[in-house]
Structure 1
Amino acid sequence: MTKTVKSVCPYCGVGCGIVLEVSNNRVVKVKGNKEHPTNFGRLCTKGNSCAQAITESGRMEYAYRRPNRKDEPVKFNMDEAISETARRLRAILDEHGPDALSFYVSGQMSLEAQYLINKLAKGFVRTNNIESNSRLCMASAGSGYKLSLGADGPPGSYQDMDRTDLFFVIGANMADCHPILFLRVMDRVKAGAKLIVVDPRRNATADKASLFMQIRPGTDLALLNGLLHLLVKNGHTDPDFIEEFTSGWEAMPEFLEDYPPDKVAEITGIPEVAISQAALWIGESPEWMSCWTMGLNQSTHGTWHTNAICYLHLVPAKYAAPAPVPSHSLVS
């Protein structure tokens, strides 16, 4: 007997719809869900091959231990493994103190598991040395959203991709890391939308760009501030929106004077003409969309990067958000 199960691909976080055909409790066929609003039937290589990971056994069924460092790992009873791990951690804690232990956990853990590991690290061991993909990737973004938009959720949607006039991709190699979304971007580009790509490397995404800005690593904030400087200088702002829905604007013009195009070009390594072109396209586009990921989040300035991108949308009042519009702050 074969049954069909609709699910969502777990790999890159985009959430593409997949259809699994299951026979005798095994997945026998995978295809994209044509009715899903994210991918409309398209799947990348990982999505197409996801059945291999959930069909094959051996993952987390046993513990393994090396009797000596250079020996091959040997299967180990799970209860004994848990007890021995706890004993070794306890010995390190007793001899060297809490900061001798650190925890690196996965963003794929459940909310309950995340809570427990943080209680173990901070409440019992009493160390701050715990890190995870969740915090490394999204804490700076969440903080930036709350500071600039008042809530820690991005206001855009995948459907915005089907109507935007300009894509601004920074800190992301969409062609390789989010290929299904990138195909959706390219559908819109073929219909006339422009694509700006900011990256230190000329990657597969940059190869499709209308304008490629090869930035010097670590200078993203200068570029974003420089673009905002030009939006203001070019008159591409919405004073009524700024007056009614934002706070702190009075400090911004003076702050932005430190980021003229020539100085930004010197800092970032991007030609001044390219910076001016990007700002002009952003300012003149009726609807535009920024796409960014870990290249900006995983930074000591990740929160500021998020703020700066949000400002680029707020100042000309071009962004997708549900009504009523929340109170926004332009103060870092």
Structure 2
Amino acid sequence: MSELNMEEIEFLVELLNKYPTESLRKIAELEGIDYYRLKRLYDKYYGEYVQVNAMYRIEKVGLRSYIAFLSVPRSELRSVAARIQQNPFMIDQTAMFGFKNGISSILHIPKEQVKYIDEMLSKYSEDYEYYEVTRYPPKKKRREFGEWKYSYDYAVLMDILKWDARTPMKEISRMLGKTRPTIRYMINKLREDGILRGFIATIDMDAHDRGVLGITSRLDEAVLEYFKDYEIMVGVLDGNKYILEWFFNSKEDLGTKLFEFSTYVEKVAIEYFDLLVDFNKNRKFQRFSQMIKKDGSGYRSILEF
């Protein structure tokens, strides 16, 4: 591919955030731009550098979100990652070195199976810690968790939309063996039930292949102000701790960033997103459809894998 043009990429992302699932012809018509110019940009960047994905409220289907940190010897890192990859309730994996040397993973756990988390994680490591994680700032209203009350086809559809929300309706129809009106009904059902929050267009260029992760029991608002111009994310852990992630590129000065960041947290680790990226990218269409029993009666056991 020719040299990337960030202005073109950002222009495409802006359009797709306004019209995430509309056809290119419809977008061109609504925006008054040349269809063939738009199609050239789309063909050039979509799929490899730009993606549109569904966003879900997982609590609506009875899932709780956790982050786990597992000690894993460097020599066993990829073999353990391969085993974790088979478990759909462990959403992604990142190599980390710091207060735990090994793997961090996001977990989506059915509410009634939270009591089995220790048993599940002990399959991969004898030394681990985990926390329930929610968004920052914390909500005052108590979260209510729903149930899975849909057929298995809904799980497959959710995976398709999560992977690529612009998958052609013809292709979705083929994958589900259902008519287009039925698929539209299913999508509307997910939206009406509050599960499907919407769609978001993002740039995926592996621009950030490193991160500094920290945990603290006290979050100073001045820290957020200090880092406001950087790629940083904040989450709430178990209601009384906070997690901070600072994303950057390996070409930048790692030592300086680690030293700077460590003054604001009590636990700190370096994340290497590129070391296990292949495991995460090979999980196409394998999240909800592997969590849910084929008869649609609910979640499989997190200990099956």
Considering the TM-score relative to the shorter chain, is it more than 0.5?
A: no
Question: TM-score of the superposition, structure 2-length normalised?
Answer: 0.24
- Structure number, greater radius of gyration: 1
Ranked by relative contact order (alpha carbons within 8 Å, sequence separation 6 or more), the top structure is 2
Higher share in strand? 2
Question: TM-score of the superposition, structure 1-length normalised?
Answer: 0.23
